[in-house]
Structure 1
């Protein structure tokens, strides 16, 4: 089972592979059950995995930057508070 295969959720490369898999399934309605489309399916799985890994990396980077921004803001607030006392 794949995640949602809607085109707007994936890169053009993955969309191309998804379309090839769908085409294989459409052209080989019964043969697909014996593994005829497995190569296409594995290519889609690999592409989706790579997308997920890249999204995770981007989210981690974004979270690190946000955490750094918060730390700097907290330091500044602490400095301001010490200066007032």
Structure 2
């Protein structure tokens, strides 16, 4: 199962791969769909697209964890205000 393939959720690199995969599915669903699907005609594009979306997910996850660490430090170790 693919992740959500909405264009606003992905990087430009993955958008290109998603478009190629969708074109492959659209074009080859007309011509001998059972035969081409059985031989996995669009499978290579599918695997590359999944790898790209997984890399996006991992980057977002890392960024989120870094942000979480910063926020925890702010909350649990507040900077004391100096009195003037």
Report the TM-score range of the alignment, normalised by the length of the smaller protein.
Answer: 0.7 to 0.9
Which structure: larger Rg?
A: 1
Q: Distance in 2 between matches of 1:66 and 1:36?
A: 47
Q: Structure 1 segments of 4 or more deviating over 6 A?
A: none
More helix by share: 1
Q: Which has the higher contact order (CA 8 A, sep 6+)?
A: 2
Q: CA deviation at 1:27?
A: 1.1
> Normalising by the residue count of structure 1, what TM-score does the alignment of the two structures yield?
0.82
Unpaired segments ≥5 residues, structure 1: 78-85
Residue in structure 2 matched with residue 26 of structure 1 by the alignment: 26
Q: CA RMSD in A?
A: 1.6
